[in-house]
A and B are shown apart, each in its own frame.
Chain A
Amino acid sequence: MRNTEYGTSTGNAIIAAASGKGLKIDTRIAYNANSSDVSAQVLQLKSADPDAVIFRQLYIRFRSCS
């Protein structure tokens, strides 16, 4: 997620909504708002192999309820 108060608060809301639907949130990955290279974060995502990714100036990965 974008490492700002805004990124954190909206990320919290998304996670709460997804959890309420039975979706398991595995990982939140932060990145610096001033960074021009997100290779490390994408590699983290690739390694985690999520079912889905939400980007809101942030990355959240979650798994289905299965």
Chain B
Amino acid sequence: MKTMHTLNWKPPILIGDDSGFFRQTRSSRAVGDLAQGVFNRSSYDIGKPGGASFVVNRVVSEACRPRAGRYLGGGGMQGFLALMEAINRAGSNRAGEDPGGADQSGSEGRNKLMIGYNGIKYDSKGQNTLAATLLVQLDGKKYVAVWPDNSAVHPPCPCPSKDGTDAMNTDLFEIISHHSFDAPVENRIRCPRR
């Protein structure tokens, strides 16, 4: 981002794929002003403020903070849910206990309260076929979930240019939105800047 700024150029759309320097906190402080509107692929989002996911994730994270010394991030929350799922499948949290008739076939947790967590079901190569993701966009100092639409706080917004106007070509933005959103246009929430 700094090199792009130095060379006086920024693409209309910039997408990071869980890129280290786009991550929250340290990077957003370092290049946040230059990176406004940048998209990133993420594995976790706390959800819409006030929503069930937001409340549950905040409670779990607050409960773990005294022991962990910090709030749980995406990896910690995913690990927590994976552990709960393993216990549920085993039917017990006692080590070495015979799982008996417990469900070992995998689960589909799409109704669970974790954004970016659809459950665990491994294929023959050990890949989780229920692995999920979401797209976030840097807005101020925070990333905001923008896709999939059922988890989005708001839809993708055009990247602001240096003069504060939307740099993204409107037609292109509509194409990207069309590719990104399954919901009918009339049912989508609008970008707050548009």
Tally A-B pairs: CB < 8 A.
58
- Which residue of B11, B13, B18, B20 has the most chain A CB atoms within 10 A of its CB atom? B11
Q: In the complex, given contacts A37-B3, A50-B11, A55-B22, what are 5 additional A-B residue pairs having Cβ atoms less than 8 angstroms apart?
A: A21-B179, A45-B9, A52-B11, A52-B14, A55-B19
CA distance A39 to B18 in the complex (A): 22
Within 8 A of A (CB), among B1-55: 3-4, 6-7, 9, 11-20, 22
A residues bordering B, Cβ < 8 Å?
A: 10, 14, 21, 23, 37-39, 42-43, 45-46, 50-57, 61, 64-66
For this complex, 25 residue pairs linking A to B, each with C-beta atoms less than 8 Å apart, are A14-B17, A21-B179, A23-B179, A39-B6, A43-B7, A45-B9, A45-B11, A46-B9, A51-B169, A51-B172, A52-B12, A52-B13, A52-B14, A52-B15, A53-B11, A53-B13, A55-B14, A55-B15, A55-B17, A55-B19, A55-B22, A56-B16, A56-B17, A64-B172, A64-B176
In Å, the complex CA distance between A57 and B9 comes to 19
Q: Which of A14, A42, A46, A65 has the most CB of B within 10 A?
A: A42
Taking the complex as formed, is B175 at the interface, i.e. its CB lies under 8 A from any CB of chain A?
A: yes
Determine whether B98 belongs to the interface, using a CB cutoff of 8 Å to chain A: no
The residue on B at minimum CB distance from A39 is: B3
Contacts A42-B3, A42-B4, A45-B9 given; does A65 touch B14 at CB 8 Å: no
Task: Answer whether residue B123 sits at the interface, using C-beta atoms and an 8 A cutoff.
Answer: no
Contact A42 B9 (CB under 8 A): yes
Residue of B nearest to A11 (CB): B17
Cα distance, A38 to B164, chains bound together (Å): 26
Nearest CB of B to A10, in Å: 7
Which residues from A are CB-within-8-Å of B12?
51-52
- What residues of chain A lie closer than 8 Å to B186, measured between beta carbons? none
With A38-B3, A42-B3, A42-B9 in contact, do A53 and B175 touch (Cβ < 8 Å)?
A: no
Contact present for A10 and B175 (CB under 8 Å): no
The answer to whether B19 and A57 touch across the interface, beta carbons within 8 angstroms, is yes
B163 in the interface (beta carbon within 8 A): no
User: Which of chain A's residues has its CB closest to B169's CB?
Assistant: A51
Given contacts A14-B17, A51-B169, contact A65 B175 (CB under 8 A): yes
